[in-house]
């Protein structure tokens, strides 16, 4: 579940695989009355062929014997007993084919049931089993290594002595899991270029995620390390606030590295705009959900002069389709995000109250 079909799902069998009774009653051949000869239950092999004027008691789901032209429901028939199984009379004559599910009604062997790339839902799992599958091939879940950079980060207790608590170590792994990725390891790496180089080159995950160190500060080592190991920068900064130093690089062996900025809400902006599409693509899904999610803004949101803004919003339960911008949305803050269900995309120049804007869902 939650994985995408790696190959198309084709029926391994006709469905139903045999002409099946849709009701409890009698399978009959031709016009009545009929001589009743024995019974056939679901799961049993079909009884011998019926001749004109013959009937057999039948259960829902049982194979209809050859020669049968219809099923008479139990409530529509009456058996007049005699020494030899009895005679069946129907209130009204059954239509030809009545209450018989013909073989292949739902699909023929080889029919395309589901295209590759579709997310396996409970219904698809059930359909695959009904159509004869014991297993289906899915695109494996992408595995991520998370490298949290910064000497100033504390792992416990309140911030002290100019140091701050690491908010991203606790935030990212469960979010990645909710996004369908596996987290191999979460490592903290001090402000040391060589340690970062070793951590990046030593990772064997499908995607490496770093936090912090993306800017041009004295101990921001992500760029120099990527340069040194020969990575190719595909995205080196984005005109978005917060999050503008985010980056996407290809490591020499072709695996992606997503560099999230250190400011926590800036890192979140990098997750929803860069990491989510990368994880979706690795999982065999379209990079962006379709249709895109939009909402009507309950209030005006001022814009940046040149860049797009991402602002945490919460949907307003009493007004479907409306989202309220939240406060405490500074790049270093998580308080607004904690109450949010998405990040609204505010174009340069801002958006008026009532404007319809795209909302990037958080996916948790
Ligand atoms: N001269 C400039 N300085 C900065 C610019 C700029 O354009 N010119 N951009 C600022 C913006 S915007 C951001 S965002 C940050 C991005 O910087 P880095 O990715 O290099 O991140 P750090 O410098 O390592 O940390 C920034 C900030 O975030 C705190 N931090 C880092 N990691 C965590 C964590 N895991 N949990 C909680 N807080 C974290 C760190 O202590 C810093 O306060 O650069 C600006 N500077
Ligand atoms: O990108 Mo920075 O995130 O504006 O804080």
Ligand 2 centre distance from Cα of residue 177 (Å): 25
Mark residue 25 as left, alpha or beta (left: phi above 0; alpha: psi -120 to 50; beta: remaining): left
Give the model confidence (pLDDT) of 117-128 as tens digits. 999 999 999 999
User: pTM to 2 decimals?
Assistant: 0.85
- For the chain, percent of residues with pLDDT exceeding 90: 90
What class does CATH assign to 20-101?
mainly beta
Backbone phi, psi, residue 210, to 5°: -115, 155
pLDDT at 168: 98
pLDDT at 76: 94
Give the model confidence (pLDDT) of 261-279 as tens digits. 999 999 999 999 999 999 9
Q: To the nearest whole number, what is the mean pLDDT of the chain?
A: 95
Range(s) within the chain of domains with CATH label 2.170.190.11: 20-101
pLDDT at 46: 66
Q: What is the mean pLDDT of residues 283-306?
A: 93
Give the model confidence (pLDDT) of 19-56 as tens digits. 999 999 999 999 989 999 988 898 887 668 999 999 99
Closest atom of ligand 2 to CA, residue 269: 3
> Is residue 102 pLDDT above 80, yes or no?
yes
The residue written with tokens 């987290």 in the block is 183
- What's the fold here for domain 143-283? Molybdenum Cofactor Biosythetic Enzyme; Chain A (3.40.980)
Least confident of 49-53, 83-87, 151-155, 197-201: 83-87
Q: Count other Cβ atoms within 10 Å, centred on residue 162.
A: 6
Range(s) within the chain of domains with CATH label 2.40.340.10: 294-361
Residue nearest to atom 7 of ligand 1 (CA): 215
Give the model confidence (pLDDT) of 309-345 as tens digits. 999 999 999 999 999 999 999 999 999 999 999 999 9
Domain 294-361 has CATH 2.20.25.90: no
Residue nearest to atom 4 of ligand 2 (CA): 242
- Give residues with Cβ within 8 angstroms of 176, minimum separation 6: 144, 146, 182, 183, 209, 279
Rounded-to-integer distance, Cα 15 and Cα 12, Å: 9
> Is residue 364 pLDDT above 70, yes or no?
yes
pLDDT at 23: 96
Q: CA distances (Å), 178 to each of 87, 94, 175, 205, 363, in order?
A: 63, 54, 5, 18, 7
Q: What is the mean pLDDT of residues 87-93?
A: 92
273 alpha carbon, closest ligand: 2
Residue nearest to atom 1 of ligand 2 (CA): 243
Range(s) within the chain of domains with CATH label 3.40.980.10: 143-283
Res. 217 pLDDT band, cuts 50 70 90: confident
């Amino acid at each position: 579940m939650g994985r995408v079909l790696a190959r198309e799902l084709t029926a391994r069998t006709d469905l139903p695989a045999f002409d099946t009774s849709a009701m409890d009653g009698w399978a009959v051949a031709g016009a009545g009355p009929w001589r009743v000869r024995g019974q056939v239950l679901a799961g049993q092999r079909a009884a011998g062929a019926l001749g004109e004027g013959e009937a057999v008691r039948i259960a829902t789901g049982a194979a209809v014997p050859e020669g049968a032209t219809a099923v008479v429901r139990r409530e529509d028939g009456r058996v007049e007993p005699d020494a030899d199984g009895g005679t069946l009379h129907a209130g009204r004559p059954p239509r030809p084919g009545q209450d018989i599910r013909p073989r292949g009604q739902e699909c023929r062997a080889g029919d395309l049931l589901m295209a590759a790339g579709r997310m396996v839902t409970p219904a698809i799992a059930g359909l695959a089993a009904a159509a004869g599958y014991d297993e289906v091939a899915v695109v494996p879940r992408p595995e991520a290594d998370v490298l949290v950079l910064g000497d100033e980060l504390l792992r416990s207790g309140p911030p002290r002595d100019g140091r701050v608590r690491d908010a991203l170590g606790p935030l990212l792994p469960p979010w990645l899991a909710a996004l369908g990725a596996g987290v191999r390891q979460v490592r903290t790496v001090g402000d040391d270029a060589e340690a970062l180089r070793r951590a990046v080159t030593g990772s064997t995950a499908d995607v490496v995620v770093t936090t912090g160190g993306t800017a041009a500060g004295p101990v921001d080592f992500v760029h120099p390390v990527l340069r040194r190991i020969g990575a190719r920068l595909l995205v080196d900064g984005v005109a978005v606030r917060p999050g503008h130093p985010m980056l996407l690089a290809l490591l020499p062996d072709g695996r992606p590295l997503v560099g999230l900025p250190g400011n926590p809400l800036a890192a979140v902006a990098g997750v929803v705009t860069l990491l989510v599409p990368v994880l979706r693509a690795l999982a065999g899904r379209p990079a962006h959900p379709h249709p895109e999610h939009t909402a009507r803004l309950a209030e005006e949101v001022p814009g940046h002069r040149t860049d797009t803004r991402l602002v945490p919003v919460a949907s307003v339960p009493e007004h479907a389709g409306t989202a309220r911008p939240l406060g405490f949305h500074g790049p270093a803050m998580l308080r607004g995000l904690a109450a949010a269900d998405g990040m609204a995309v505010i174009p340069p120049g801002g958006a008026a109250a009532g404007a319809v804007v795209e909302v990037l869902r958080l996916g948790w």
